[in-house]
Structure 1
């Protein structure tokens, strides 16, 4: 498994298992299967409602705690300095860990950025106290990051973004690269393009992708994951099926050439599958409360 060195020296596996929209009653088995297949990085979030099952699977796997990189996210209803400190307590208790490897803010919350800054300062405190090994953000655009960097002292280690060939966010990727922030792709195989219910083609069925897959004897999903990893991004594909998990992790034995990378880069549609960052407000999403452990 390839790994990346974050900007504070922490090592993070390049590929992990995402558990977004995985029901709690399926999460334990999915994470157990992933760990058995060689995954050593699990990405969850407080708002997913399955941190407890992720922790159960890690403990029951028998693997030493330090061998599994655990990443989770603080939800906007827990933003604010004291609230975010307490959000760590809730997540750590559900996960059954004393320290979280990577804790990130789930959204920028541009309509209430003072709360966002207070939440990030709480992450800085947790980092200084050794309760987390690295801190970061998710779905932050360049203007959000600029404001964050101007007001805080720790550069985020990671920015988790919607990234796949149909939506590449190159301006944000470039900003992160210039500032030593690792880009991490959610929906790296374009799942967001076919669970929105809109009438448009899945990137997995795109002829350009399937042609490259055929040339390498790989699946379209493997090509898309390789596209991300080869350009220095972390990827966290989601699956609950062991055969898909095995396929997704088998992406380190081939290389896309420059023309293939260029072909995939040219698929940019400019169409965001997830919510617009400006639409994520406390009024719209703050009613989702994170229960105590």
Structure 2
């Protein structure tokens, strides 16, 4: 048995998601094909992309190049901020599927709640429910939803989001929001799990990594997995792709987990969902 065997998480709709995947944020479309193919070759089976990333075509080409059976892969994409209008949201899934070269995605997320733009994300959620009903997305969820956003969707929708993909890393542990997710039966996905590279200069993490003889990235990703986060680190080289994947062979002892927990500063690196309102002008 491969010691890096994927741990899975059963979502609230009964589907299963690999808890370790490959993220493609900031990977240009031209590079996505090769890196996604390399990740799948290394053993990854969960690929995370988004309309906003502008790389769905490259991601789809990498998936096709892998030669792997579709039912053995888990593919996520996300609704762009200029597609919140329900009609645009419903049309946009077809555009994503065309770019990806797929008949369906496993998971489709509202990328940001955008509470200030004048289109209620609850109406967008109802469009997501329609997309799920069409079979073009097996599961639907949200991203960057704060507790107040999540509670409104759960209270007014007919489907509970299966995941909430949020910023989580050792400096922003998100204890409150992760608890709300859990109470509602919503899985937590962690974006920027390595704090956009900030973990590599951390003395505490360096000490743990050196004692264990493992890379810092493996230590931090193992911490996420042990607290039941779903993670999908980005990597821009084949070597880092493989290094990250080897985190599946590492189990931290309680003292190391506590030391990493103590790094929390409740400090964001990314935008605040309560105020983030960027909407692109171009069609995506």
Q: Same fold per TM (> 0.5)? A: yes
In structure 2, the partner of 1:289 is 282
Give the Cα–Cα distance (whole angstroms) in 2 for the partners of residues 115 and 76 of structure 1.
12
Shift of 1:253: 2.0
2:218–2:250 contact (8 Å) kept in structure 1 = no
Which ranges in structure 2 are unaligned for 5 or more consecutive residues? 1-5
1:83 CA displacement:
1.1
Post-superposition shift, 1:114?
A: 4.5
Question: What's 1:90 paired with?
Answer: 95
Question: Is the contact between residue 84 and residue 119 of structure 2 (CA under 8 Å) also seen in structure 1?
Answer: no
What CA distance in whole angstroms lies between the structure 2 residues aligned with 1:74 and 1:113? 17
In the alignment, what sits opposite 1:199? none
Q: How many aligned residue pairs are there?
A: 279
Matched residue of 1:184: which SS? strand
Deviation at 1:143, TM superposition (A): 0.9
Deviation at 1:133, TM superposition (A): 0.9
Which of 115, 120, 123 lines up with 1:118 in the alignment?
Answer: 123
| 8 Å CA contact retained: 1:185, 1:235 | yes
Deviations 1:17-46 (A, max 9, x none): 111110111110100110110111110000
Task: Select the residue among 146, 150, 157 that pairs with 1:152.
Answer: 157
Q: State the partner residue of 2:211.
A: 215
After superposition, residues 72-221 of structure 1 pair within 5 angstroms as: 72-112=77-117, 114-191=119-196, 202-221=198-217
* Counterpart contact for 1:163–1:169, Cα < 8 Å: yes
Show structure 1 runs of 5+ residues with no match: 195-201
1:248 aligns with 2:219: no
Could you say what the CA RMSD is over the residues aligned between the two structures, in angstroms?
1.3
Q: Secondary structure at the match of 2:116?
A: helix
DSSP-derived class of the 1:269 partner: coil
Contact 1:158/1:184 (<8 A) preserved: yes
Q: CA deviation at 1:278?
A: 2.4
| Mapping for residues 2-81 of structure 1, pairs under 5 Å | 2-81=7-86
